Structure 1
Amino acid sequence: MKTIPLRTTVIGSYPFPGWLEFAAANLDQFGPDDLAELQEDAVIAALHDQTSAGLDVITDGEQTRLDFNLSFYGYIQGIELESAPPRRFGPPAHDQRGKHPIVEALSAPKGLGAVDEFKRLQKLARGSATLKASVPGPYTLSGRLLPGAIYADRWAITEALLPLVQAELVALVEAGCIEITVDEPSMSCYAHKEDPERFVEIFNRTVAPIVGKCHLSTHLCFGNYKARAVGPRQYAPMFPAFLGFSADEIHVEMASREFAELEILTQIAEAGKIAAVGIIDVKSYYIETPDDVASRVRRCLQHAPAEQLAFAPDCGLSQTARWAAKRKLANMVAGVEIVRSAIR
């Protein structure tokens, strides 16, 4: 798949409209047709904001996912969903997201739901933007599941989830999806204390059947629940090992880290991949101006050629207020276009 220089994209998630959050908290008041309409309307809203901004690549905003992992867990048999996290009060942190026991061997006889999401996106999308699907990889997906008698540790859970994710990726390609992000932020968060080569091997086995059949990317960040990171925010422990990912594009979080380790873009480009740069800080309510963005793009061009650069927010936008997300995306596209026009 040929990509345009300095293309603009997103990771996957987008803020829920306020009315959707209300509806999600009161699902018992809606019938099945009401819920289907709610889902379509939410995706239309996310598409409107992304296309109005002028993005080259858009998603459905993950508007029909209750939670980044929980929605997928709902498709997997063998998980007992716990309703109460271990801590409910005090400053937000990752321990306010509950973990769930495994009660039988994991399976997903009806898939993981991403194919239905993509088909909805295909039906509702208009215009020339590329449509992208985002699916969590098996290591990240294993993070909120508890080891026990069936699976001894997180690695064993990951191995059980791997064929389920792999089957979903294959089904997405068969449904006509030409761009997929396999989202593995947990690998970034734990690369400092786990073997990064082991992560690469897991990732590559997961995506093996779809390599060369779509534009394949991965997203490396340090966590964003309530704008809180969960790992040391350094890419040094991951590279050069992560250059071995069987991916066309590697997305790195830069804006919230004041563009530290920007030289990694050179390594990614020299490995023959596209460096997708997180150029918008989703954890800040400072609205980057087009000139801010253009200046940052020029810095990136000192490390990689335009044909091997893409730009996106640092992470998914689900934890950012919608009014800010709309302005940030519009200014990101405008800033990139300033530079793109100058080098045409």
Structure 2
Amino acid sequence: MMKSYQPFTTTVVGSMPKFPWLYRPKTAEELKEDYKYGERGVWTFDGQLRNIAINDAIRVSIRLQEKAAINIISDGEQRREHYLTHFTKKMSGFDYSRLAEKIIRGETKAMVGRCVAPIEHVAPITIDDLSFLKKKVDQPVKITLPGPMTIVDSTHDEYYFDEKSMAEDWAIAINREAKLLDKLGPEIIQFDEPAFSLYPEKVSEWGIEMLQLAAADLNANTAVHICYGYPHPEKKRSIVDSYPRLISILEDCDIDILALEFEGARLDPKLLSKCPSKRVRFGCVWNSDQRIETADYVAERLLRAADILSPEQIMPAPDCGLSPCSFEIAEKKLRILSEGTKIARERSK
């Protein structure tokens, strides 16, 4: 359901940095030796102590966004070890006791969970997360869920033996979670689909259909996040020229917001001409680079985007989640994002 926003409404993709006192990241060498998809670190607390520590981390994540004057905020996904396995491990149908080797995102070898039975939603997964967030803030909030195509690409199918059938059951299951979340009144429910960027043919064949099934019948604004991913430390990303085709396809779907990477991939804002009816969460600071953009640079990128779409359609944000960053870098990038947005608002009047 499309709602009106102020010019250049700022937001985030979802994740914030994990604090080392809560979650110790594995070293690049550890990941290289034993790359289990979704396990990039180790929790430093167990049981109730972990819950207390996570609540503290969420409060810090909220404050980080509030200090930067972000308009629509998340809980930083602090309860999630990983944006995807947090859900697959809680749905029926997946087995993580014995992993399978798989090439994901077209080129990355990983040990992934196995789909061994029908996928079903058996209990709420993130209801308490959203409820906690809404109790802590007065401003609009968002929450993210993994999309069907990315689930199919990130797990090993030993039950369906058909990508679309597996995606459909995930879409039905995650839609049940989305409807529960929708009752709590989030501003945005976002579906993460980094796999879209690598498989535009599959997006046309069944990806869009399954995405719309996942996002069906929601009152919140719906969003789909597409980026080129950050699969493994020290591994160069594959940037394929899929955005022109993807954005054209997405223009004709029922999703309200396209959450797109522009900065890290150095993409031309003119691509926005392919989605004139959409609101776009416009990535204008790169989440996987220690370099800090300048406010003037961010403003210039936003104003170039505003040559194509109206300022009310453009939502400044990082390219992707800020979990790859240190707290200090994330704080600086969000501050620059906010300062650049303020300049763009003034110059666009």
One fold, TM greater than 0.5?
yes
TM-score range, shorter chain: 0.7 to 0.9
For 1:217-236, what per-residue CA distance to the aligned partner results, in whole angstroms no more than 9, with x for missing partners?
Answer: 11111112247535625312
* Pick aligned residue for 1:248 from 256, 259, 281: 256
| 1:237 and 2:245 matched | yes
For 1:168-187, what per-residue CA distance to the aligned partner results, in whole angstroms no more than 9, with x for missing partners?
Answer: 11111112223211121212
Q: Which shifted more, 222-231 or 293-302? A: 222-231
Q: Which residue does 2:122 correspond to in 1?
A: 109
1:48-67 aligned within 5 A: 48-67=63-82
TM-score (norm 1): 0.88
Give 5+ residue unaligned stretches, structure 1. Answer: 88-92
- Calculate percent identity across the aligned residue pairs: 24
Q: Which residue does 1:266 correspond to in 2?
A: 273
**How far does residue 37 in structure 1 lie from its aligned partner after superposition?**
0.5
| 1:189 and 2:190 matched | no
For 1:71-109, what per-residue CA distance to the aligned partner results, in whole angstroms no more than 9, with x for missing partners?
Answer: 11221122110576759xxxxx842x4212223222221
Q: Which residue does 1:9 correspond to in 2?
A: 11
Q: Which residue does 1:90 correspond to in 2?
A: none
CA distance in 1: counterparts of 2:179 and 2:167, whole angstroms? 18
SS class of match (2:242)? coil
For 1:45-74, what per-residue CA distance to the aligned partner results, in whole angstroms no more than 9, with x for missing partners?
Answer: 111111111101110011100112111122
1:15-94 aligned within 5 A: 15-22=17-24, 25-26=42-43, 30=46, 32-82=47-97, 86=101, 94=108
SS class of match (1:36)? helix
* Pick aligned residue for 2:220 from 209, 214, 218: 214
For 1:87-145, what per-residue CA distance to the aligned partner results, in whole angstroms no more than 9, with x for missing partners?
Answer: 9xxxxx842x421222322222113x1222111111223x4x31111111122122222
| 1:303 and 2:314 matched | no
CA distance in 2: counterparts of 1:198 and 1:85, whole angstroms? 25
Give 5+ residue unaligned stretches, structure 2. Answer: 26-40
Q: Which residue does 2:345 correspond to in 1?
A: 340
Q: Is the 8 A contact 1:278 1:312 kept in 2?
A: yes
**How far does residue 251 in structure 1 lie from its aligned partner after superposition?**
1.7
CA distance in 1: counterparts of 2:149 and 2:209, whole angstroms? 11
Q: Which residue does 1:119 correspond to in 2?
A: 131
For 1:6-41, what per-residue CA distance to the aligned partner results, in whole angstroms no more than 9, with x for missing partners?
Answer: 1111111111011111397255x63x3212201201
Quick one: which amino acid aligns to residue 86 of structure 2? S
For 1:308-330, what per-residue CA distance to the aligned partner results, in whole angstroms no more than 9, with x for missing partners?
Answer: 11111111111222211110011
**How far does residue 256 in structure 1 lie from its aligned partner after superposition?**
1.1
CA distance in 2: counterparts of 1:218 and 1:104, whole angstroms? 27
Q: Is the 8 A contact 1:196 1:242 kept in 2?
A: no
SS class of match (1:181)? strand
Q: Is the 8 A contact 2:93 2:118 kept in 1?
A: yes
* Pick aligned residue for 1:157 from 166, 180, 205: 166
CA distance in 2: counterparts of 1:231 and 1:154, whole angstroms? 24
Q: 1:120 to 1:83 in 2, by over 3 A?
A: farther
TM-score (norm 2): 0.87
For 1:268-302, what per-residue CA distance to the aligned partner results, in whole angstroms no more than 9, with x for missing partners?
Answer: 2x2x2112211011122110111111111121122
Q: How many equivalent residue pairs?
A: 326
